[in-house]
């Protein structure tokens, strides 16, 4: 008899491979972009780009200063609430809009 480890489940091997290759991050980014398009007012969808989430805060780049100001003042809270409903696993607490 040999001391070979038992065979692993194919799903476990694929999940590990996806994690190593960064595919899970790509899928998460795609889901975030898709959800963003659902919750951001249509007029701002082409002016904004969700970037990353750090400690529950989503960084969003906005290409126009007036849009940044309006999003921060009037749309931030509803966007956060809607994203929390669509993607609760992100544990989103806030959004920071940045010019860029």
Question: Domains of the chain by range and CATH?
Answer: 10-99 (3.30.300.180)
Contacts (Cβ under 8 Å, ≥6 apart) of 10: none
User: What percentage of the chain reaches a pLDDT higher than 90?
Assistant: 64
Whole-angstrom distance, CA of residue 36 vs CA of residue 53: 13
Edge-first strand listing for the sheet containing 94-99 = 48-54, 57-62, 94-99
- pLDDT, tens digit, for every residue of 43-92? 999 999 999 889 999 999 999 999 999 999 999 999 999 999 999 988 99
Identify whether the C-beta of residue 46 lies closer than 8 Å to the C-beta of residue 67: no
């Amino acid at each position: 008899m040999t001391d070979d480890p038992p065979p692993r489940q194919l799903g476990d091997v694929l999940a590990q491979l996806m994690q190593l290759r960064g595919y899970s991050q790509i899928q998460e980014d795609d889901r975030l972009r898709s959800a963003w398009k659902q919750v951001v007012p249509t007029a701002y969808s082409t002016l904004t780009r969700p970037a990353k989430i750090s400690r529950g805060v989503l960084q969003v780049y906005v290409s126009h200063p007036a849009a940044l100001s309006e999003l921060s003042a009037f749309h931030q809270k509803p966007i956060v609430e809607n994203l929390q409903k669509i993607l609760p696993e992100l544990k989103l607490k806030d959004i920071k809009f940045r010019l860029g």
